[in-house]
Structure 1
């Protein structure tokens, strides 16, 4: 019985230690989520404005440019996957990877070759475990993204996009990340960056409306060439910020659930330990009473 008490006591201590860790991680994520949300809110208007400007210029300039021109045959597509560097965030990374797998299956069914660019150690380990190749990977900044990393990713995919398909270039660029909706909801998002699919924030002109007038210096092609990397970098950086906010929210929710489960384990093991202690006390009392009865019977 004493051994059973020691086992329950050790399990209670283990659960209490686990609760301290999960509670600390929950508080850390809770303190960081506010800043992450502020960064997402601050980057959103700029990203939307750049997208609207690029879409409007490309749409109303009537210029054949690589930014909006659909290739006759799409041979290769690039998929950039945003996961996390650390675990203990519930289904955060797995949901993004699952969405990327569904996208890759769709692209392959259309006869397109898929090349991957990975962001986050979880994505890298996922591909390494399955012995699948990736073009490039970036790790170490998923919870606190920097614009320098976004620029490096943008430069890599744009350089590959500008290469001819015969030399290994890609004809499409897709990104997969978790979009922050609320503290309890993070939704996997799949976006095709290039070529542009729709005009965001630009309404079609009516019968009596005039098309916006643009003047390009030195010419339209150079303007669009300059806007291309800016557009890609802003969208990628916004996706990284969305992913970071989603990661903190997912980790906070997962750690709160883990802390609640630890509380339940502590209560259950405490109850079992108390029952075992009560059984031990009852047995000791029974032995004492039995011994006393035996002594009184022998004296008669």
Structure 2
């Protein structure tokens, strides 16, 4: 019984040590979520105005641009999957990968070859373990993405899209959209060719449409704006994914801390029962010994 009691006490100490770690990670994730949300909110005005500018040029000019042209036969598609670099975030990365698998299965069903691009070590590990080809990957920035990384991704994908023979005809990105601390939704978006829509309501017949003048020319304006637009979309996806990752990690670590607390209570209760049983057994043995000595003395008399 003493050995069992020592085992339970060792388990309690081990779980208490784990609880301290999970609690610290929970607090770190909670503090970083605020910064991630602030970065996403700070980038929103630029992305919104850039979207309006691109929408205006694409809508009110009759210029055909390679990034906006729909191909009649699409044979190859690129998919950028945004996952995390670290674990301990619950089902965050796995949910994004499942959404990407559904998208790739749909694209293959349409007769398209899929080229995989990965952001985050978890996605790289998933595809490498299954010996599936990865065209290019980016790691080390999932919780704190930078605009330079987003620009590098967009330059690579745009280059592949503009390459006629060995390039791709479509570019998709799969990431986790941050809706709230409790809800993060895996989302798949087609980036190229661009689908630019400004507002959901169509203007009425009596409404006057604005007249735009583009300098130096609509084609040159599109050449300057469209790559920046794609970069801003990718950067927005990375910021959303970072906030989602931190929220998922905080929730997972809180759950782990709560489970550790319950486990400590359970082991403490079992250890107390084992200790009480040991004491009871020792008392019984002492009482039995005393009775045996009393009986022996009575026999000698």
Question: Is 1:97 aligned to residue 97 of structure 2?
Answer: yes
Following TM superposition, the consecutive aligned residue runs of length 4 or more in structure 1 with deviations greater than 4 angstroms are none
Using the TM superposition, name which of 169-178 and 81-90 deviates more. 169-178
| Structure 1 residue aligned with 2:35 | 35
SS in structure 1 at match of 2:68: coil
| Structure 1 residue aligned with 2:268 | 270
| Structure 2 residue aligned with 1:197 | 195
Which TM-score applies when normalising by structure 2? 0.96
Select the residue among 172, 175, 179 that pairs with 2:173. 175
SS in structure 1 at match of 2:143: coil
| Structure 1 residue aligned with 2:206 | 208
Cα distance in structure 2, aligned partners of 1:287 and 1:212: 98
| Structure 1 residue aligned with 2:280 | 282
Do the aligned residues in 2 keep the contact of 1:55 with 1:196 (CA within 8 Å)? no
SS in structure 2 at match of 1:204: coil
SS in structure 2 at match of 1:213: coil
| Structure 2 residue aligned with 1:151 | 151
Cα distance in structure 2, aligned partners of 1:252 and 1:222: 46
Using the TM superposition, name which of 141-150 and 65-74 deviates more. 65-74
Cα distance in structure 1, aligned partners of 2:63 and 2:52: 17
Which TM-score applies when normalising by structure 1? 0.96
Select the residue among 286, 290, 293 that pairs with 2:291. 293
In structure 1, the gaps of 5 or more residues are: none
| Structure 1 residue aligned with 2:251 | 253
Displacement, 1:81?
0.6
Do the aligned residues in 2 keep the contact of 1:80 with 1:119 (CA within 8 Å)? yes
Select the residue among 218, 221, 243 that pairs with 1:220. 218
Question: Is 1:50 aligned to residue 50 of structure 2?
Answer: yes
SS in structure 1 at match of 2:214: coil
Displacement, 1:211?
3.0
Question: Is 1:19 aligned to residue 52 of structure 2?
Answer: no
CA 1:178–1:241 in structure 2 vs 1: closer, same or farther (change >3 Å)? same
SS in structure 2 at match of 1:58: helix
Displacement, 1:198?
4.3
| Structure 2 residue aligned with 1:81 | 81
Displacement, 1:77?
0.9
Q: CA RMSD in A?
A: 1.2
